[in-house]
Amino acid sequence: MNKQALIDAIFEKKSLLCVGLDSDIDKLPEGIERSIEGLLQFNQQIIAATQAYAVAYKVNTAFYEQYGSAGWHCLEETLKAIPKQCFTIADAKRGDIGNTSSMYARAFFKHMDFDAITVAPYMGEDSLSPFFQFEGKWVICLGLTSNAGSKDFQILKVGETPLYLEVMRKVSQWGTNEQLMFVTGATKASDLKALRVEFPQHFFLVPGVGAQGGTVKDVCDNALTDFGGLLINASRSILYASSGTDYLEKASAEAHKLQQECQTAMGL
């Protein structure tokens, strides 16, 4: 999906919502078997219950990789359940030497046909360049993340500049805003405004809304653009909105609420 198609989807649904499928067998609700088969059934149901409100889905591969080949099958079947008009993200955080990254890119872009993959830039340009070679695909690079450990490296100063900003500036030279997004955490909303000034044409993937304490309003107040420019991810607040038999109603209601907050922020 190219940039204009993503923008069109955002304005058609009046939404910036990305649903994170970090689905955990141990947290499956009442009535769903706690097995790989149950996990797939749950994902398919969540997708069906939220697709009217979501413009994107982010599949965290670690939640599936842990189960080996059966987990990979579940991941691939989950991807098939996502409507074609929705943007799909493999949250895999890959990044290795060039020939290894080439194999990762083929796996997620060619074999599984995700629209985007999250990457870690620590090993430099040659570790990310293979991902930029696929037309119509997106590289989502870690920028400023919302986890507590982000302070260990990301905010260290390189001269007068925090490391995360130096990294983002460098990575922005390797791809265009038609194929490159950045991960910027919602719990760091005060930093989003400065990042938006620095990167006015790039999309930001923003985790941390909902269970982690970030809000749609804070994110949009600081980083919304006239083309949208945001994919606001919510995972646990939707997936586990209820542990009872009403889990689909509650998941749909939470997704709808977040979509409405996006619509309000966008003035639509």
User: Average pLDDT for consecutive 10-residue bins of the chain (268 residues)?
Assistant: 97 98 96 97 98 98 98 98 98 95 98 98 96 97 91 94 96 98 83 94 90 83 97 96 97 98 97
Residue keyed to tokens 């996990």: 39
Determine the pLDDT at residue 210. Answer: 66
Selecting among 93, 217, 250, 257, the annotated active-site residue is 93
Q: Do 174 and 128 touch, CB atoms closer than 8 A?
A: yes
Is 93 an annotated catalytic residue?
Answer: yes
Nearest to 83 by CA among 39, 50, 51, 117: 51
CB 118 within 8 A of CB 90: yes
Amino acid at the residue 13: K
Task: Supply the pTM of this predicted model.
Answer: 0.96
Residue 119 CA: distances (Å) to CA of 89, 194, 245, 259: 11, 22, 37, 27
Q: What would the two tokens of residue 258 be? A: 């977040």
Contact assessment for residue 190 and residue 222, using Cβ atoms and an 8 Å cutoff: yes
CA 165/CA 174 separation, integer angstroms: 15
Give the CA diameter of the chain: 56
SS3 at position 46: helix
Please report the pLDDT score of residue 208 as a whole number. Answer: 78
User: How many CB atoms are closer than 10 A to CB 126?
Assistant: 13
CA–CA distance, 182 with 144 (Å, rounded to integer): 8
Domain ranges in the chain?
3-266
Under 8 Å between Cβ of 22 and 236: yes
Question: What's the CATH code, domain 3-266?
Answer: 3.20.20.70
In sign, the C-alpha dihedral spanning 235, 75, 60, 118 is negative
Q: Which amino acid is at 138?
A: W
Distance CA 92, CA 101 (A): 12
The pLDDT of residue 15 is 98
